Amino acid sequence: MSTSSFEDLVETSISETLSKILGQIVWKSIGFFFEPKSLSQNPEAVPEMLSKLFGNHGKVLERVIADDLLDKVGVPEDSRRGYDFRGLVRMAKARFMSTTSSLTRTGPTGV
């Protein structure tokens, strides 16, 4: 993980996923109406934004974004069942924080 903060990781997951699924031009058009960085600072607002833009299809995009985020922090797929988007983001943040704190404790050389 080369991302410096959890918010950067969320922003990357949102941008990469929506760009991949919707296409670069559509993603840029949608990004014009909201600030992706603000969504990364408040990922709990993502489901509402996706619902406004895509209706019930927003749920599919939520799941793909969450899966991308969880893949980036190393949460196994079998741990993801039964959670909504907000729960999955909390799970990803907890994993990110625990990974970051363990790297900080061991230092760059692992000692």
pLDDT digits (tens, 9 = 90+) for 2-11: 448 999 999 9
CA 86 to chain CA centroid, nearest Å: 10
What pLDDT does residue 39 have?
Answer: 85
pTM: 0.84
Q: Is residue 107 part of a domain?
A: no
Domain assignment of residue 109, yes or no: no
Tens of pLDDT, residues 65-102: 999 999 999 999 999 999 999 999 999 999 999 988 76
Domain that holds residue 49: 6-102
Based on the structure, what is the number of domains in the chain?
A: 1
Q: Evaluate whether residue 1 is within a structural domain.
A: no
Which residues fall within 8 angstroms of residue 65, CB to CB, at 6 or more apart? 13, 14, 17, 18, 46, 85
pLDDT digits (tens, 9 = 90+) for 39-66: 888 988 999 999 998 999 999 999 999 9
13 within domain boundaries: yes
Asked, for residue 56, whether it belongs to a domain, the answer is yes
